[in-house]
């Protein structure tokens, strides 16, 4: 793929919106309902608390082989997610 072709892809402006019946069957939609999050805008707002967001997502949507003992270990500029966890 040429550099020109790649540049075109990086400037893509189209949005492909999935059908509502498809969205309603997704794990993320079910997760949102369980957390009383009514729409994407509210999801974005809740996700501003990123530690809460990723811990809650991981509890319900990730199957851990061994659970983590810490959600995030932040030592700028390095970050480790789900410290101690193992998954397949």
pLDDT digits (tens, 9 = 90+) for 44-66: 999 999 999 999 999 888 999 99
For the chain, which residues score pLDDT lower than 50? none
Looking at residue 18, its pLDDT comes to 95
- What would the two tokens of residue 42 be? 């509210």
Helix or strand or coil: residue 33? helix
For residues 37, 43, 48, 50, the Cα torsion angle rounded to the nearest 10 degrees is: 80
pTM over cut 0.85: no
Per DSSP, helices labelled H in 1-88 are 3-10, 20-23, 27-34, 40-46, 50-61
């Amino acid at each position: 793929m040429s550099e020109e072709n790649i540049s075109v892809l990086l400037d893509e402006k189209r949005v492909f919106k999935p059908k509502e019946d498809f969205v309603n069957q997704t794990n993320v939609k079910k997760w949102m309902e369980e957390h009383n999050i009514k729409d994407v805008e509210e999801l974005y707002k809740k996700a501003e608390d990123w530690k809460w967001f990723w811990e809650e997502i991981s509890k319900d949507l990730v199957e851990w082989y061994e659970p983590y003992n810490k959600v995030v270990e932040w030592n700028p500029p390095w970050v480790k997610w789900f410290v101690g966890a193992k998954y397949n």
